[in-house]
Amino acid sequence: MRPTRSALAFVATCAALAALAACGGSGGGSSSSAASGTYTFWDPYPQFDGSSGWGRLVASCGAKAGVTVKRTAYDTTDLGNKALLAAQQGDAPDVMLVDNPVVSTLVQAGILNKMSEVGVPTSSIQPNIIGAGTVDGAAYGVPIGANTLALYYNKTVLDAAGVDPSSVKDWPSLTAALTKVKAAGKKGITFSAIGTEEGSFQFLPWFWGAQGDLDHLDGAGGVAALSLWKDWVSQGLAPNDVLTNTQTTSWQEFATGDFAFGENGTWQLGNAKKAGFPYGVVSIPGRTGGVAPAPTGGEFVTVPVQKDGARYAVSAKIVACLTSDANLMATDTTLSYIAPTTAVQSRQTAKDPGLAPWKAAVGAARGRTSGGLGTTYPVISEQLWGAVQSALSGGKSPQAALQDAQKAVENHQG
């Protein structure tokens, strides 16, 4: 699922066990015997009731494991908060599906089991996708799929401006395309630079595409990426309202039919098909070419720590069922996700060749908490989106904004 400010705010404020009481909520674990009875399952999909394909899948995986699954759906923030409190009370659910940036915080709080310790294999998962749920080399969950960012384009606008989308290979060629579109009387590109996690999420492909390092926000790559965005806004190639655009309102702008490009995610595929104009998708280009790494979104199936370790065997069966190739195909189609395994990805693209750009984007993607960042990522991200806001609004130069952001991160870390 796309990232939200509330999800990352939870990560930033509720990472320590000492803060659990302030995070609110209540538990809902099961006291059934290990081999039978009821197993509890929490997920962040309140939009799917028990009669939905997802609801039926969860129930069927429990039945195959010989138990009844009691499923409870919360929104993303409530789920994280309740997980922390339930674990403190010794009442965590048996199986839990959580947004990938939350995994490292739950691990730090001592809530999750390693997949290797409960007998769930992860070797078939693409390393860059499982990286978002890996801490100190150990996987603490299995992804059910991944979404990420790419560039949607309006074929009608590009044709009128004489732009071939296949010519977009790097930043100079993209900027040249935007310039032609503006000269033809249309609008260039829209994206979200809002002062929340969504702004950081959308900036990261450009940051990483210039070899930016989240441990050093003010490095040359980060400055180049922020300068690119600043130049686009200053030259009218991107609208000023990117400063307040969420990913939803940015999509709404693109859907007007006036823009050549819109940066957005796999979750907009359904809306793209209803937009009323021919569209296509290209990967976000790196500064000098290639596919820029974009951040991964999506959820991980995890097994929380229980008082009765005998329960893990059944929990592992439920996880294995939910993440089997057959079930991943159906789930990822429903959620507009790209599967986390190459085998299922191949089946997806065979069924829908239009997913090929998304497969490439996911193949190059990175977890936001990967590389050892873990629970420090929210601190870095907040300073990053603040720097983007400051530079695009004209308050500071890109370099000064990122230098101040880096100092703030270092001061926070002590």
Q: For residue range 75-98, what is the model confidence (pLDDT) as tens digits? A: 887 888 898 888 888 889 999 999
Vertex 380, ends 379 and 384: CA angle to 5°? 120
Q: What are the Cα distances from residue 302, in Å, to 84, 286, 307, 371? A: 14, 33, 16, 20
Closest CA to 67 of 94, 106, 102: 94
Give CA–CA dist 405/211, Å, rounded.
Answer: 18
Q: What are the Cα distances from residue 371, in Å, to 123, 127, 137, 256, 368? A: 19, 12, 10, 39, 9
Give CA–CA dist 167/309, Å, rounded.
Answer: 56
Give CA–CA dist 132/141, Å, rounded.
Answer: 9
pLDDT exceeds cutoff 60 at 279: yes
pLDDT in tens, 160-177: 999 999 999 999 999 999
- Which domains, from first to last, does the chain contain? 5-147+297-364 (3.40.190.10), 149-294+373-413 (3.40.190.10)
Closest CA to 313 of 142, 110, 94: 94
pLDDT in tens, 320-351: 999 999 999 999 988 889 999 999 999 999 99
Task: Give the confidence band of 11 by pLDDT, cuts at 50, 70, 90.
Answer: very low
Which helix or strand (DSSP H or E) is residue 318 part of? helix 312-322
pTM, rounded to two decimals: 0.84
Contact 29, 93 (CB under 8 A): yes
Give CA–CA dist 102/9, Å, rounded.
Answer: 10
Residues 6+ apart with CB under 8 A from 43: 54, 58, 71, 72, 73, 74, 79, 96, 97, 299
